[in-house]
A and B are shown apart, each in its own frame.
Chain A
Amino acid sequence: NAGVTQTPKFQVLKTGQSMTLQCAQDMNHNSMYWYRQDPGMGLRLIYYSASEGTTDKGEVPNGYNVSRLNKREFSLRLESAAPSQTSVYFCASRSGGDNSPLHFGNGTRLTVT
């Protein structure tokens, strides 16, 4: 099983450009999440989707939009990239059990110049 798949693995953008980070999971999980990881700050939640058709803001949603396209796919869009969005982005999913952990993708390393 592939688990959680993120594309692309690496991306360099110029300030003001837009892009979409793709995420898909094949575990039939209901909930999906987007995090960014910066040195010394751990993982910060950008947006999450409790189930197909719903999305909610996390800790740092400004500058991002998301789409829960279907149960499998949850995309993150940067409309106008800024250098402050340089980070490693992780997508994750989890099933509905209270003790179910997050299953993470391998991350996307984004650099905005």
Chain B
Amino acid sequence: AQKITQTQPGMFVQEKEAVTLDCTYDTSDPSYGLFWYKQPSSGEMIFLIYQGSYDQQNATEGRYSLNFQKARKSANLVISASQLGDSAMYFCAMREGWGGGFKTIFGAGTRLFVKA
């Protein structure tokens, strides 16, 4: 069975500093995708970044980058130059297989607090 582990229930970071949120996964499927989502206190789910299992380079989207270490089965999210608005819950998620019809499961999340 696939599994996603986020070991940091809460993290603090100083404004303008970088922070890494950890995510490890477990799957036997060679084709999978890893996603990060942000959930602010307002409750909506916001997609941040995607990494495919066959992608050769680490994904980047603005201030977000994904540190993908396939052999270690980790997909850590790096947020550079943290802003107060980055305070939120962050979820790592994995989709096994390919195409549109495969289930996506989530980790328990990490709550990030950005200090002024």
- A interface residues with partner B (beta carbon < 8 Å): 29-31, 33, 35, 40-45, 48, 50-51, 54, 56, 58-59, 88, 90, 92, 94-104, 106-107
Contacts and interface: CB of A to CB of B under 8 A. Distances in A.
B81 interface: no
A104 B47 CA distance: 9
A107 B43 contact: yes
- Among all A-B residue pairs, the 10 with the closest Cβ atoms: A50-B101, A96-B100, A101-B47, A104-B45, A42-B108, A43-B106, A42-B106, A31-B100, A30-B100, A99-B50
Contacts of A40: 9, 108
Given A40-B108, A50-B102, 4 more contacts: A41-B108, A44-B106, A59-B105, A90-B45
B101 A106 contact: no
Interface residues of B, number: 26
A45 B43 contact: no
Interface of chain A, main secondary structure: loop
Nearest to B105: A45
B103 interface: yes
Contacts of A29: 100
B33 A45 contact: no
A30 B45 CA distance: 20
B88 to A, nearest CB: 14
A102 B43 contact: no
A61 to B, nearest CB: 11
26 contacts: A29-B100, A33-B104, A40-B9, A42-B4, A42-B6, A42-B108, A43-B91, A43-B93, A43-B106, A44-B106, A45-B103, A45-B104, A48-B101, A48-B103, A51-B100, A56-B103, A90-B45, A94-B104, A96-B101, A99-B50, A99-B52, A101-B37, A101-B47, A104-B44, A106-B44, A107-B43
